[in-house]
């Protein structure tokens, strides 16, 4: 654990002002997670608000039978909205957050929240903005699964992946199927259709998005 320079923080979080960055730099610690590490799991207490400064975190919902459903990525400059909903929780099935690469996270102990909210307006602007963004994101997910068919959902999924990871997606059909809660065969077939459209180029372990 080590802390981060205020200037570095502001670069990642442009909404922060000088005093806020200094405070966080002073009081928060930085932790590095390895690929595959779980940052957050269902039914967990939070002792920190988590800000991603490097790497990438994948958020997904887990079903009762262990199914997974991809929600969104947290990237540098993002905060984990749920980690800021500090109060206790212990629901049957909640959300999972896993580092998909080596990831550096600023951890702000929960006991500073009152102070931050009260004395650092740029903090609560950031919090509000974080919620808004995530809420929108989640609503878009609902649109997709409520209103769209698999082919459109797959396309939307790939597009989002490409927006974050770049056009070269190192994904197997099985992994995609897991993320959108479908099956490998269905994904294979739909990918073929997208390839015929010219939307993607399909290779082993790799989908090239041309959207």
DSSP for residue 204: T
Residues 134/81, Cβ–Cβ less than 8 Å: yes
| Phi and psi, residue 79, nearest 5° | -120, 155
The count of residues in the chain is: 211
Total chain residues near a copy of itself (CB under 8 A): 40
Contact flag: residue 87 with a copy of itself (CB under 8 A): yes
- Alpha carbons 172 and 185: distance in angstroms, whole number: 12
Residues contributing to the site for DNA (CB under 7 A): 149-151, 172-174, 181-186, 188-189, 191-192, 202-206
Of 76, 29, 78, nearest to 54 by C-alpha is 76
Name the minimum Å distance from CB 198 to a copy of itself: 23
146: contact with a copy of itself by CB under 8 A? yes
Interaction between residue 91 and a copy of itself (CB under 8 A): yes
Among the listed ranges 45-53, 126-134, 156-164, 186-194, the one in contact with a copy of itself (CB under 8 A) is: 126-134
Q: Are 37 and 102 in contact (CB under 8 A)?
A: no
Binding site for a copy of itself (CB under 8 A): 61, 63-65, 67, 69, 71, 81-82, 84-87, 89, 91, 93-95, 114, 117-119, 121, 124, 128-129, 131-132, 134-136, 138-139, 141-143, 145-147, 181
């Amino acid at each position: 654990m080590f802390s981060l320079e205020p200037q570095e923080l502001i670069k990642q979080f442009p909404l922060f002002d000088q005093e806020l960055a200094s405070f966080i730099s002073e009081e928060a610690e930085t932790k590095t997670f390895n690929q595959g590490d779980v940052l957050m799991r269902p039914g967990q207490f939070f002792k920190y608000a988590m800000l991603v400064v490097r790497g990438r975190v994948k958020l997904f919902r887990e079903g009762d039978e262990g199914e997974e459903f991809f929600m969104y990525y947290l990237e540098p400059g993002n905060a984990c909205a749920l980690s800021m909903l500090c109060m206790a929780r212990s629901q049957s099935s909640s959300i999972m957050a896993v580092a998909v690469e080596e990831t550096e996270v600023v951890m702000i102990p929960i006991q500073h929240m009152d102070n931050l909210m009260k004395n650092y307006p740029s903090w609560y602007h950031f919090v509000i903005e974080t919620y808004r963004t995530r809420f929108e994101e989640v609503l878009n997910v609902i649109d997709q699964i409520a209103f769209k068919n698999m082919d459109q959902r797959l396309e939307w999924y790939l597009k989002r992946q490409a927006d974050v990871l770049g056009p070269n997606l190192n994904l197997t059909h099985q992994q995609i199927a897991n993320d959108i809660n479908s099956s490998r065969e269905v994904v294979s077939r739909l990918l073929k259709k997208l390839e015929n459209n010219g939307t993607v180029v399909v290779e082993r372990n790799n989908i090239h998005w041309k959207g």
